[in-house]
Amino acid sequence: MTRISKAFPGVQVLSNVDLEVRAGEIHALVGENGAGKSTLTRIIAGVHQPDDGEITFRGDRVVWSGPGDAKRRGVHVIYQEFVLFPHLTVAENLFIGHERTNRLGLVDRRRTRADAKALLARLAIDIDPAKRVCDLSVADQQMVEIAKALVHDVKLLILDEPTAVISGREVDLLFTRLRALRAAGVAIVYISHRLEEIFSLCDRVTVLKDGQKVGTCEVAAVTRDQLIAMMVGRRLSELFPPRRAPKTDRPVVLEARDISVAGRVRGASITLRAGEITGLAGMVGSGRSELALAMFGVLPRTGSVAIAGVEHRSLTPARAIDLGIGLVTEDRKGQGLAMLLDVEANITASTLPEFTRFGLIDRARERDVAKAEIANYRIVCRGPETPVAFMSGGNQQKVIVARWARTSRRVLILDEPTRGVDVGAKLEIYRIMHDLAERGIAILMISSELSEIVGMSDRVVVMREGTVAGELEAGEITEEAVVELATRRRAA
C-alpha cells in the first residue's frame, strides 16, 4: 500500500500511509484507537476504496470492486465479531457460498462434511464438522473462521484483536496455528493492543498514530518502551500514576470470609480498604471473576460478606448497589453496556430513580449529568446522545466507569478494566482509578496483565485453583512474586 489516504465526512482518517506486508511473515499493526488501523484494513479487504494512493497485491496493482473481489484473490479478514451462522453446522459455515453439490445441483452433505474434516485437519483442529457453531467454544469458533480462510486459498490473513475473546492455552494454540500458516507462506497482519503478543509472535511492526504512519521496524530491534513511545509519545515509565506511600490505617470497608461458589471458588477470603487499590491476580480459571461476582451478589455463594462492619449472609446486585458497591464487568458489550442506547442513558442506568418523577425520566437533568461526566472522564464522543455502539472500546469503557463511579460510595470492582483498549485509553483509566482511590473508594482490580497488577496495586491478592494462594504488600509486589504464587502447586 502506497500513499493511502481516506476521509469520511469531516474527518481525515488516513493520510499518506504506506504499508508493506511480505509473504511468510506475521506483521503487527498497532496504534491507539482512532489511529486508522480499522480503516486501513477495510481498504485492504475491499470494504472501502482509498481516496488516494494505490494497492499492489502479489505484484499487480489492484482496485478491489468489493470484499468479494479481495476474498477471491486470497485476502481474508477475521474480525472481533465473528461472521458465522450460529445455527448451521461447522461444515455448512465453512462452505457458505462455495457449497459442495452433486450432479443434480443439490447440496452434497456427505462431501461437505468430508471436505470440512480435511480442511480442519490441515490446521490440526479437532472439531466435529457436524456440530452446530452455537455449541462451540469461542476459541473453536475462531478456529472455524481461520479454516474458512483456507477455503479461499488465503494469501493474506488479517486478524483484528484475535485474543480479545480467548485466553491461556487457547492463545497458545492460536499462535501455533498462525506460525504454521506463516511457515506455509501466508502473509498475516496481526492487530492487537497486547504488546506482549507482538513480541512473542510477530516479525515486524507498523505503528499508526492519528491516521499517519509513525514507522515500521523489526520486532527484535525495538523495546516495549520504544514501541509505546511511538504509539502515544510517552515512555513506559510514564504509563502508571506515581505509586502512593503505603498506609496501614485505612479502614476496612468490605470483608469477604470463606466464600465458596460451587465448582469454582473454595473458602476464599479477601479484605478491601478505603482508598486502596487491591489487585486480584491469578491464571485464567483461578476463580478471580467468580469471587467478585459472588461478592456483588450475582452468583450464589456460601460464606459471608461484611460491608462497613455489617455482615450480609445473602446479597443481591440491587442491594449491593444500594450499599455503595459497583461492578465493571469483564464483558463490556455483553454485560456492561446497553449497546442500542446513547451515552447519557448508559451513564445514568444504575441511578434512574434519581432522574425519574411520576414515572417519567427528566431528560434535561440526565443530559446535564452526562455532559459533566463526559468532561470529567474525558470521554471522546459527539455528545450525550452519541450511541455507545459507535464509540471506541476505550471510550465505551470510560462510560461504564463513569456510571459506576456515581454509585460506588464504598467499593468499585473492575474486572479486566483495560482489556481491548489502546495505550492512551489505559492511561486515562489508570488516572480515573487513582483519582477514585484518592477519594477514599476501595478499588478491587482484576487483571491478567502482570505489568498492570504491579504498576497499579497497593496490595495484591493472588488466586490459584479457586483458593487464595497468598497476598503481597506494596514492597513485595513483583511480576515474579505474583507468578510464583499463581502457579505453585498446592501441598498435598
CATH of the domain at 34: 3.40.50.300
**pLDDT given for residue 188 in this prediction:** 96
**pLDDT given for residue 336 in this prediction:** 80
Task: Assess contact for 44 and 4: CB atoms under 8 A.
Answer: no
The predicted model scores a pTM of 0.62
Task: Please check the confidence at residue 286 and state whether its pLDDT lies above 80.
Answer: yes
Same domain, 155 and 300: no
Same domain, 458 and 328: yes
Q: Provide the β-strand partners of residue 282.
A: 463
Same domain, 291 and 185: no
The verdict on residue 51 lying in a domain is: yes
User: Around 327, how many Cα atoms within 13 Å sit in the side-chain half-sphere?
Assistant: 23
- From 236, 264, 280, the end of a domain falls on 236
Same domain, 212 and 357: no
**pLDDT given for residue 469 in this prediction:** 92
**Backbone phi and psi for residue 443, each to the nearest 5 degrees, phi listed first:** -105, 130
**pLDDT given for residue 491 in this prediction:** 39
Same domain, 326 and 439: yes
Same domain, 45 and 78: yes
Residue 323: partners with Cβ closer than 8 Å, 6 or more residues away: 307, 308, 312, 410
DSSP designation for 334: I
Alpha-carbon gap, residue 94 to 90, rounded angstroms: 6
Q: How many CB atoms lie within 10 A of CB 125?
A: 17
Torsion of CA 319, 324, 327, 328, to 10 degrees: 140
Task: Assess contact for 203 and 26: CB atoms under 8 A.
Answer: yes
What order do you get walking across the sheet with 26-30 strand by strand?
75-78, 156-160, 187-191, 26-30, 204-209, 212-218
Which cell numbers in the block locate residue 381? 464522543
- Once rounded to an integer, what is the mean pLDDT over residues 206-220? 92
The verdict on residue 241 lying in a domain is: no
Q: How many CB atoms lie within 10 A of CB 308?
A: 15
Residue 367: partners with Cβ closer than 8 Å, 6 or more residues away: 344, 384, 385
* For helices 138-151 and 169-183, angle between their N-to-C axes, nearest 10 degrees: 10
Which cell numbers in the block locate residue 256? 469477604
Task: Please check the confidence at residue 325 and state whether its pLDDT lies above 90.
Answer: yes
Same domain, 441 and 340: yes
Same domain, 332 and 460: yes
Residue 306 identity (one-letter amino acid): A
The verdict on residue 62 lying in a domain is: yes
- From 202, 236, 270, the end of a domain falls on 236
The verdict on residue 441 lying in a domain is: yes
Task: Assess contact for 181 and 157: CB atoms under 8 A.
Answer: yes
pLDDT band at 35 (very low <50, low <70, confident <90, very high): confident
Task: Please check the confidence at residue 407 and state whether its pLDDT lies above 50.
Answer: yes
Least confident interval from 131-135, 171-175, 371-375, 384-388: 171-175
The verdict on residue 268 lying in a domain is: yes
Task: Assess contact for 28 and 198: CB atoms under 8 A.
Answer: yes
- From 168, 202, 236, the end of a domain falls on 236
pLDDT one-digit tens code per residue, 150-175: 777 889 999 988 887 666 677 888 89
**pLDDT given for residue 425 in this prediction:** 78
The verdict on residue 242 lying in a domain is: no
- Once rounded to an integer, what is the mean pLDDT over residues 294-312? 91
Same domain, 135 and 281: no
Task: Please check the confidence at residue 474 and state whether its pLDDT lies above 90.
Answer: no
pLDDT one-digit tens code per residue, 63-116: 999 998 998 899 988 887 678 898 999 999 888 877 888 888 888 888 889 988
Same domain, 186 and 295: no
Alpha-carbon gap, residue 68 to 250, rounded angstroms: 61
Q: Which residue has the higher pLDDT, 154 or 336?
A: 154
pLDDT band at 145 (very low <50, low <70, confident <90, very high): confident
- Once rounded to an integer, what is the mean pLDDT over residues 378-384? 86
Which cell numbers in the block locate residue 65? 470492486
Q: Which residue has the higher pLDDT, 165 or 18?
A: 18
Which cell numbers in the block locate residue 278? 487491591
Task: Please check the confidence at residue 490 and state whether its pLDDT lies above 70.
Answer: no
Q: How far is CA 167 from CA 1, 10, 22, 281, 297, in A?
A: 32, 39, 28, 14, 26
Which cell numbers in the block locate residue 60? 499487480
- Once rounded to an integer, what is the mean pLDDT over residues 188-197? 88
The verdict on residue 492 lying in a domain is: no
pLDDT band at 488 (very low <50, low <70, confident <90, very high): low
Same domain, 194 and 321: no
pLDDT one-digit tens code per residue, 215-249: 999 999 998 888 878 886 666 556 777 777 777 78
CA angle 193, 198, 199 (to 5 degrees): 135
- Once rounded to an integer, what is the mean pLDDT over residues 131-143? 84
Q: What percent of the chain has pLDDT over 70?
A: 95
The verdict on residue 245 lying in a domain is: no
Same domain, 158 and 298: no
Identify the burial level of 9 via C-beta atoms within 10 angstroms of its C-beta, where 0-12 means exposed, 13-18 middle and 19 or more buried: exposed
Which cell numbers in the block locate residue 76? 481474508
Of the candidates 428, 282, 484, 322, which has an alpha carbon nearest to the alpha carbon of residue 292? 282
* For helices 423-438 and 224-232, angle between their N-to-C axes, nearest 10 degrees: 90
Domain residues for 275?
252-487
The structural domain count of the chain equals 2
Q: Which residue has the higher pLDDT, 74 or 334?
A: 74
